[in-house]
Structure 1
Amino acid sequence: MSIVCEVRKRKKGTVYKFTVKVIRQHFKAIERMSFPDKPSGRAWAKQVEQEMLKQAEQELPKYESAQSRTGDITLETYLTHYLEMNDSLPVEEQISYRDRQAILFWQKSELKNIRSNEMTEQHLIDCLIKRRKTVTASTNHLYVSVLRRAIEWQKRTGYYFKNFITPDAMKELWKLKLVGKSQRHDVRPTEEQVLLLFEELLKGYNTAQGVVPYHHIMLFSIYSTFREGEVCRIKYSQLDKEAGFVIIEDRKDPSNKFGNHQKVPLPPECLEIIDRQPPFEGDDRIFPYKAQSVASRFSERTKRLGFPELRFHSFRHEGISRLFEQKMSIPEVALRSGHKTWEHLRRYTHLLHKEPPDLWGQCKRIENKYWAENELVNKQLLRAAMTLS
């Protein structure tokens, strides 16, 4: 019997390949697996060696490999181990919130109790056919891609699940139109819609339970052109009011998601909106809210107010288009919006070729009139007012 470790240098770091071998009369077993660190590999090798010796002593006719043993687990079990492994990684290597939600969906789906040795392409097709009644083909594509990547991490998890989402299976899903490309969202809100939404969202904010100032975040998104995650991530400590700049940490970049900090100019309208935000003790963020919740609940409100076509992204889209209408150059717009190429900005140039309206000026008048005519009910604003007094 023997345990051998080979050290292999790769671009993404060192890999340790362990080989476990046990040879007895009428019994022979060999297993190999690669690991990103030596202790994990050694622990695996010792456990496998003990299992081999146990079977050798019983004179079993054939060694059952770790791959065949763990290959009989359910999809739910495999994904549980996958998430446990993901949570043990450094933050910058973990999957995104969106991908985690996809994994949680598959853990609860009708496929969850199907074992690896039983799973087929048809199981996936049947599941996606039912799911297409409630979601788009592009959403299906995203969720299938996340599941496919999770299953490809078998060696890192130490558990095996049959890779049933093959290239041929993907071709079949495309042919059946169960997966597809996402449609571009190019809707720009009208001036009337923005003013009406601002007034209604302001009323909704001035309640005892009011927490998120959606009316201000909407206007901030237009004038800053920031994504919802960026809006909810900027901090007072990284804001330079005099120079009119703020630092956005980890700005979205396909090739450099983490550590991509950018100094971005803020227009006077954004600085005025910031001045109207109540302080949050123990949180340095200007808008200390969950970006995912802000976007989803904002969409719920626009639907309820009769504008189902408007999403949170619609207002970022409006802001970028306004910059072009103000005759800003491509580099100037890209600095504010965070886009990397002209191709990504091209979709924002279906312009009206007119001077964009002063939305913040009109909204300020609406807000000042509202506070002059209505009693302050929002508990958060009341506490802030008492602190200042």
Structure 2
Amino acid sequence: MADIRKRGPYQWQVRIRRKGHPSQTKTFNTKAEAEAWAQVTESEMVRGVFVSRKEAENTTLAEALDRYLQEVSSKKKGAYQESRRIENLKSHKLAKRYLASIQGKDIAEYRDERLKSVSQASVRLELALLSHLFNTAIREWGMNGILNPVSQIRLPKKAISRDRRLLPGEEEKILGACDEYGGDLPYVVRLALATGMRRGELASLVWDNIDLKKRTATLPETKNGEKRIVPLSFEAVQILKDLPRRLDGNVFGFVDSHSITTAFIRSVSRARSTYEKECAEKGMKPDPGFLVNLTFHDLRHEATSRFFELGLDTPFVKKITGHKTYQMLDRYTHLRAEDIAEKLDQLNKQKAESLVKG
């Protein structure tokens, strides 16, 4: 039998003791809520379907996020980026709610609210984090009697894959701004364009894994969790030869990949400002798309596309870039139509010349 008692002027506490079940206690703001909960809980106990939701009812989303950050996110390669998402989630009013009280409609409201201020891709990543948190809480933390509310809603559509290539003149401006920024950034950007390596791979490079004679760079563990040996062009080798050696054995002095991103964004912004000033001095209107919407990852995209434009076959490019599947590689490969047209002209010209000679 449920014992309902008043606690203070605004709260009602329910305590249920029933043979064969652990004691259940919960506090409500009204007596009606307390009685309703007691009725449902006792009914479940009688029917033998009761599952204790005590831990989920006493753990807020913010508390669960803290635990997830420590036990799960900290072991991921993208730990920093995920920690930022967790901080954003903790600042939302939903973080104050208990896990057991969060329903699909609450997640749907969160989704719609976030879509007003951030991209669909960002919201998908946040919802993926929340979904994995609930699954982890249910399967590994013993929070029984709850469902994953993210599985009950419609996710935002996947963003169209980026096809941003460097515009004519952008590379020169970016490299100039990177030179002004100084440090290792100019070498990082040049090597990214020469090899197509990811920022995390560049940040983790050590001299012990580089063989300038064989022209290879060994990556013990990549984003895919596999070892990869990157072939180095003569250009890439020269970039590394020009780089001053560090005493700690690291190739670059950046603390992590995020530091590279920050430095790159600042340099691109500086390059854009310089470009706008030059246009103003010449009485020209700046191109609204020049040095705009550029990310460091676009350098990998640019490098991969250039490999194809050099005439390298897909298996060779896959070996260089380390893409796990051909489908993933195709997503990053956007050849310029004008370059393809020029290539076709060259092939047709070669064919015509061979017919004449024949």
- The question of a shared fold, defined as TM-score above 0.5 by the shorter chain, is answered with yes
What do the CA deviations read for 1:249-281 (whole angstroms, capped 9, x no partner)?
21232xxx2xx1112211111111112223332
2:101 to 113, 118, 125: 118
Amino acid at match of 1:98: Q
Q: 1:110 to 1:161 in 2, by over 3 A?
A: farther
1:350 has 2:335 as partner: yes
1:204 is aligned to 181
Rounded to whole Å, the distance in 1 between the matches of 2:68 and 2:230 is 37
What do the CA deviations read for 1:193-227 (whole angstroms, capped 9, x no partner)?
1111111221222xxxxx4x322211111111111
Structure with larger Rg: 2
Rounded to whole Å, the distance in 2 between the matches of 1:216 and 1:77 is 42
Q: 1:305 to 1:133 in 2, by over 3 A?
A: farther
> Post-superposition shift, 1:160?
5.5
SS in 2 for 1:127: helix
> Post-superposition shift, 1:167?
3.2
Q: After alignment, is 287-296 or 345-354 more displaced?
A: 345-354
SS in 1 for 2:129: helix
2:60 to 74, 96, 111: 74
> Post-superposition shift, 1:315?
1.5
Q: 1:300 to 1:65 in 2, by over 3 A?
A: same
Amino acid at match of 2:335: H
> Post-superposition shift, 1:161?
8.3
The equivalences for 1:222-371 within 5 A come to 222-253=193-224, 257=225, 260-282=226-248, 284-289=249-254, 290-306=256-272, 307-347=291-331, 348-351=333-336, 352-353=339-340
Q: 1:157 to 1:85 in 2, by over 3 A?
A: farther
Rounded to whole Å, the distance in 2 between the matches of 1:113 and 1:162 is 17
Runs (5+) with no aligned partner, structure 1: 1-24, 32-61, 206-210, 356-389
Give the conservation status (yes or no) of the 8 Å contact 1:202–1:215. yes
1:195 is aligned to 172
1:151 is aligned to 134
Rounded to whole Å, the distance in 2 between the matches of 1:334 and 1:286 is 24
1:216 has 2:196 as partner: no
Query: RMSD of aligned C-alpha atoms?
Result: 3.0
The alignment's TM-score, normalised by the length of structure 1, stands at 0.64
The equivalences for 1:28-67 within 5 A come to 28-29=20-21, 67=53
Rounded to whole Å, the distance in 1 between the matches of 2:198 and 2:185 is 14
Rounded to whole Å, the distance in 2 between the matches of 1:134 and 1:345 is 31
Q: 1:70 to 1:130 in 2, by over 3 A?
A: closer
More helix by share: 2
Q: After alignment, is 102-111 or 242-251 more displaced?
A: 102-111
Identity %: 18
> Post-superposition shift, 1:69?
4.2
Runs (5+) with no aligned partner, structure 2: 1-16, 24-44, 273-290, 344-358
> Post-superposition shift, 1:159?
4.3
Rounded to whole Å, the distance in 1 between the matches of 2:144 and 2:265 is 40
> Post-superposition shift, 1:96?
4.1
Give the conservation status (yes or no) of the 8 Å contact 2:203–2:252. yes
The alignment's TM-score, normalised by the length of structure 2, stands at 0.69
1:127 has 2:98 as partner: no
Rounded to whole Å, the distance in 2 between the matches of 1:144 and 1:188 is 30
> Post-superposition shift, 1:95?
7.2
Aligned length: 279
What do the CA deviations read for 1:131-182 (whole angstroms, capped 9, x no partner)?
223211121011101111111112422446843524332x2xx4xxxx2202
Give the conservation status (yes or no) of the 8 Å contact 2:56–2:146. no
The equivalences for 1:176-187 within 5 A come to 179-187=156-164
Q: 1:94 to 1:277 in 2, by over 3 A?
A: closer
